Amino acid sequence: MDAFFLKLSGEEPESAELRLALKRLLNRIAKRKDGARLFCNRKAAQCLNGLKLPDALLLETLPEADFPAEVAFFAPPAFLYAVRRDNGELCSEQLQLNPDWALSDFHIHTDMAYCNVDMNDADALAMGRLAGLKSMAFSEHSGQLYLSPDDYWHDRYNPEGLSGCVLAPRIQEYLKKLKKLPDDGFFRKSFELDLDRHGKAVVDCGDFQISEIRMAAIHQVMTPTDSLAAQKDFLFRAEQALGRGLDILAHPFRVFEWDHLPRPVELYAPLARMLRSGNCAAELNFHSNTPDPAFYRICLEEGVKIATGSDAHTLVEIGELAFHLKFLKELGVSDLTSNAIFRESDLKNRDRSRNLC
């Protein structure tokens, strides 16, 4: 069982930023399947008081003199802590991404998502900055902004988009919210566009004008019990949507996993080619999703960029790209300034001539 060391200086103010950072660290620890021990000095233990600790965590207060000498204080901007692995190796880790990597999180939900946990705009932006992101995008499910939860979760937009639905619009509220946020270039206005069965975005064209990124997701296929028919439907929707001009295809094959269908490996090369000709990035996303390295390898061979998205539904997930970085490294992208990664700068000079909705 790995042991974490968390040391806070007596002078560290108990700020909102520190609280977010501690929540973030606890979330990182909670992701471990085998549990963990967390050694804290007195100040750190005090600050953790009142925060929800992961179930499998053993917390111990340790006198500061007993900490390994290498353990630095947990403080902004990097928020350093240490981990001792089972083999005795002690390494220092940081919560913050290296700003030189200029990584963005293009997929963040808001408090308007029916499935959000604890989102609010101010803390979300603070968490994004704390994470060391270059930029972040609020990208709400478009369908959820027009439909009731019941209609949305029953895919009632699927046959004919919004035209076949009873609307319960919250879109103006969303647009207002985005307009109110500080326009300092750190965050982007966006949607996670739902697609109907024709591959058309479920959004009103006028409302979509505000969006600075074109990101869409295939959230369902027509025949989830028939693997081949599902594959055909998936490719059709992807082809239609990509033909209308997308920047990012969110969690490309997740729908197969969610529908308990086999991995559609036959589609990897055709989709990668479609993405290439549509100049669209493939999102790497671990939100209830197990991306297949084989698909991303083909994307890299085809010159398709990989976009980083947390698909955060809760604050602690914003900008948490630890799995992304490990995955990219295993794919051979160890230089995180590589052009293989889709970035903020890739949003310039995009072709916006085609109508998505």
Which 8-state DSSP code applies to residue 56? T
For residue 53, the minimal CB distance to Zn ion (Å) is 27
Smallest gap from residue 250 Cβ to Zn ion (A): 5
Per rule CB under 5 A, is residue 317 in the interface with Zn ion?
no
CB closer to Zn ion out of 223 and 289: 289
Distance, in Å, from the CA atom of 163 to the CA atom of 247, rounded to the nearest integer, reads 25
Q: Which residues ranging from 166 to 195 are in contact with Zn ion (CB under 5 A)?
A: 192
| Cβ at position 179, least distance to Zn ion in Å | 22
Q: What is the DSSP string of 158-216?
A: TTTGGGGS-----HHHHHHHHHHS--SSSEEEEEEEEB-TTS-BSS-HHHHTT-SS-EE
Part of the chain binding Zn ion (CB under 5 A), chosen from 93-101, 182-190, 210-218, 338-346: 210-218
In angstroms, what is the minimal distance from the CB of 131 to Zn ion? 17
Looking at beta carbons only, is 311 or 317 nearer to Zn ion?
Answer: 311
Site for Zn ion in 234-253 (CB under 5 A): none
Evaluate the omega torsion of the peptide bond into residue 77 and state whether it is cis, within 30 degrees of 0: yes
Q: Which residue lies nearer to Zn ion by CB, 140 or 344?
A: 140
Amino acid at 33: K
**CA distances (Å), 142 to each of 83, 109, 123, 177, in order?**
41, 11, 22, 15
In eight-state DSSP terms, residue 8 is -
Contact 304, 282 (CB under 8 A): yes
Q: Is 217 an interacting residue with respect to Zn ion (CB under 5 A)?
A: yes
- Kindly calculate the radius of gyration of the chain based on its CA atoms and give it in whole angstroms: 21
Least distance in Å: CB of 192 to Zn ion?
5
> Of the two residues 190 and 231, which places its CB atom closer to Zn ion in the complex?
190
Contact 20, 84 (CB under 8 A): no
Site string for Zn ion, 296-315 (x = CB under 5 A): ---------------x----
Q: Which is nearer to Zn ion, 148 or 289 (CB)?
A: 289
Compare residues 43 and 251 and give the one whose CB is closer to Zn ion. Answer: 251
Q: How far is the CB of 254 from Zn ion (least distance, A)?
A: 7
> How many chain residues touch Zn ion (CB under 5 A)?
3
Q: Which is nearer to Zn ion, 311 or 344 (CB)?
A: 311
Six token digits for residue 256: 């197969």
Nearer to Zn ion (CB atom), residue 194 or residue 344:
194
Q: 333-357 burial, b for 16+ CB within 10 Å, e for fewer?
A: beebeeebbbbbebbeeeeeeeebb
Q: Measured between alpha carbons, how far is 144 from 147 in angstroms, rounded to an integer? A: 5
Please tell me the distance from the alpha carbon of residue 287 to that of residue 291, in angstroms, as a whole number.
10
d(CA 104, CA 319): 7
Tell me the closest approach of the beta carbon of residue 170 to Zn ion, in angstroms: 17
In the complex, minimum distance from the CB of residue 310 to Zn ion, in angstroms, rounded to a whole number:
9
**Segment lying near Zn ion (by CB under 5 A), choices 119-127, 217-225, 267-275, 314-322:** 217-225
Residue nearest to Zn ion (CB): 217
What are the residues binding Zn ion (CB under 5 A)?
A: 192, 217, 311
